[in-house]
Chain A
Amino acid sequence: MSMTSPESRSSIPRVSLKAIRDIENGRSTKSAINVGNVERWASGVGGGLMVVQGLRRGNFSGLALAVLGGALAYRGFTGHCQAYQALDINTAGKRRSDEEESIYKGVLIKHTCTINRTPMEIYDYLQKPENHQNFNVRVESVTKSADGKWHWAIKGPLGSTWRFDSERITDEPGRLIAWKSLPGGDVDNAGSIRLNSAFEGKGTEVTMEVSYEPPAGSVGVAIAKMLGHDPDAQIREDLRRLKQLLETGEVPTVQGQTAGHGRA
């Protein structure tokens, strides 16, 4: 199963080496983030590696703590959900304009896979909040209140918890769901899950798009990644677990299995 479309590969955010140096040299964090945003879509894998090395060379953990700590305190939300604008959920096939692209400041991740169940079976599964905890391992808790709002607590880097509420902005049974976070949360995000039945008997093509603006913008993303939070891989694995649960009823694992002393 290949879950990564070429599109999603290029959508992994990158931060330039210069941006990192700027932070290290105490230059304005703000401008560094802007540089990061400009270069976000451009660089390839090599760029990503440079970021990693760049971060390694600096006093990394101190930097990470400083930036992230500041970010968690600062919730720069205007109530206008920019992450939502980045999602292509209004009309099928409509492309984002360059202008929209440039005002979008967060991360857009997209993965797709085919699940050997009907669109309605998948939709029904996604209607239950507790199921989200099964395939998204970062969800600490999620509930749905009578007013239709979902209340999330998500594991962030360094043992932090990100809380936010969300609402469905599109809900077409067996076809499409989309959500956006409501103002006042720790992380501004939006997402959609699109269900297209593949031809007869071949299951359902499931496309998950998630866009979010993490605290501290792209630099925050790079740092989160250094701390083992790779959002692109996480969403790829979320989608994989969704498939595994729906097809087999469990997630395959070797956690806790026996092994020789060499490992114990």
Chain B
Amino acid sequence: MKALCWEGIGDVRVETVPDPKILNPRDAIIRITATAICGSDLHIYDGYIPTMKQGDILGHEFMGEVVEVGRGVKNLKPGDRVVVPFTIACGHCSNCERKETSLCDNSNPNAGLAENVYGFSGSGLFGFSHLFGGYAGGQAEYVRVPFADVGPIKIPNGIEDEKVLFLSDIFPTGYMAADNCNIQKGDVVAVWGCGPVGQFAIKSAFLLGAERVIGIDHHPHRLAFARDRNGAEIINYEETDVIQALAALTGGRGPDACIDCVGLESHGHSVDALYDRAKAMVGLTSDRFHALREAIYACRKGGTVSIPGVYGGLLDKFPLGSAFAKGLTFKMGQTHVQRYLQPLLERIERDEIDPSFVITHRLKLDDAAEGYKTFYKQQDTCMKVVLKP
């Protein structure tokens, strides 16, 4: 089959590789019908995620048709249409029972490695480095899905792929980011980063009852998108002092909740990203987190800082004093995708949201490398790339 492989920093290629096969009883093989490139893939592309190996197949946002199931999978059969959560979860450990599926105890084959780095291991993830299990991803024609009896959600015929594809990651991610803010009537929510995750966070904050949402970025098209398509007020951080602007927009109180949809490469892909990389000693760079620092300073007293943006290493000059003085609540982590699949599919079926709104580019899987380059270099006009095998 064809698959997009990571060959090194800034180097991804579509190659012909062996077809995946069932390795465990609860596995299924899915023929991919649609897959997407995520901001998280850019962190890998950019070399920010350690423990990648040459030849690793990328991609964690995908859907398709079941072609084969292991003997432990009773609820799926060949022909079923499914969307697959990017977080791999066993369904039976205590974390899974609490629906905290990105914290599954049992899905990371390299849990020992993650424990050495983080003290604990989260769930395995598709196409997201060996620290998270080294699972081959879904930017391919076929993919092996572990614990297929509890992960994938069946999609009824009649809803097109593009409407449900983002249930795999960014819609639940934006939604959980807003859900974590405990939004009350009249609340103002500020969202750093108007990429796909930010757009879904903005949309979800409104769905969950926010009065106003303020989007922050520097890409004019992305800001305009947040304003025109999703109803956000906007701040361009290159033109305006963000903390002052947020204070002015909230009568000096600060936003009730601040969401960091930027993650560890805050301020884009500038020269100092290279410098940070040079600093990396044992594999983990010090993360860059200007956006998160701003979110902490800007948030109102007693407010919530919600962090869907990915962090992997250590932070310098983290303003804990400010957070402590203001009694802030922090919520963060990889998305518990499985928890949100059903309710969000229902919202799509009720036409409350059509997640395909973020798609700006549609490419063949063969052109995936081009897709990465475009998404990486032209963030302003390229919001979301969907690949079709």
Q: Which residues of A contact B (CB under 8 A)?
A: 1-4, 114, 116, 202-203, 233, 236-237, 240, 243-244, 247-264
Contacts and interface: CB of A to CB of B under 8 A. Distances in A.
Contact of B120 (A1, A244, A248): A1
B106 A261 contact: no
A248 B23 contact: no
A138 to B, nearest CB: 16
B26 A249 contact: yes
B5 A248 contact: no
Nearest to B118: A2
B21 interface: yes
A240 to B, nearest CB: 6
Contacts of A244: 90, 106
A249 B70 CA distance: 13
B115 A4 contact: yes
Closest 8 CB pairs of A and B: A260-B5, A262-B54, A262-B55, A263-B55, A260-B55, A248-B90, A259-B55, A258-B18
A243 B105 contact: yes
Contacts of B56: 259-260, 263
A260 B135 contact: no
B136 A257 contact: yes
Interface in B6-23: 6-7, 13, 15, 17-21, 23
A240 B115 CA distance: 12
Contact of B97 (A3, A116, A240, A256): A116
Interface in B338-387: none
B7 A258 contact: no
Contacts of A236: 112
Given A243-B106, A258-B136, A253 B17 contact: no
A251 B112 CA distance: 14
Interface in B57-110: 57, 72, 88, 90-94, 97, 105-109
B119 A250 contact: no
A116 B93 CA distance: 6
B111 A254 contact: no
A131 to B, nearest CB: 16
Given A237-B112, A240-B112, A243-B105, A250 B24 contact: yes
Contact of B57 (A251, A252, A259): A259
B302 interface: no
Main SS of chain A's interface residues?
loop
A258 B19 contact: yes
Given A1-B121, A254-B133, A260-B3, A240 B147 contact: no
21 contacts: A1-B120, A114-B94, A233-B112, A240-B111, A243-B106, A248-B93, A250-B24, A257-B21, A257-B23, A258-B1, A258-B3, A259-B5, A259-B17, A259-B56, A259-B57, A259-B136, A261-B15, A262-B5, A262-B53, A262-B54, A263-B56
Interface of B: 1, 3, 5-7, 13, 15, 17-21, 23-26, 53-57, 72, 88, 90-94, 97, 105-109, 111-112, 115, 119-121, 124, 133-136, 144, 146-147
A117 to B, nearest CB: 9
B55 A256 contact: no
Contacts, number: 117
A248 B135 CA distance: 18
B135 A250 contact: no
A187 to B, nearest CB: 24
Contact of A261 (B17, B97, B108, B134): B17
Contacts of B146: 252
B25 A249 contact: yes
Most A CB atoms within 10 A — which of B25, B53, B93? B93
B145 to A, nearest CB: 12
A249 B26 CA distance: 9
Given A1-B111, A252-B90, A260-B15, 4 more contacts: A249-B26, A251-B24, A257-B21, A261-B15
Given A116-B92, A248-B92, A261-B17, A254 B109 contact: yes
A257 B135 contact: yes
A41 to B, nearest CB: 22
A188 to B, nearest CB: 27
Contacts of A240: 111-112
Contacts of B1: 258
A263 B133 contact: no
B40 to A, nearest CB: 19
A88 B122 CA distance: 33
B92 A254 contact: no
Contacts of A261: 5, 15, 17, 55
Contacts of A251: 24, 109
Given A2-B115, A233-B112, A244-B106, A254 B94 contact: no
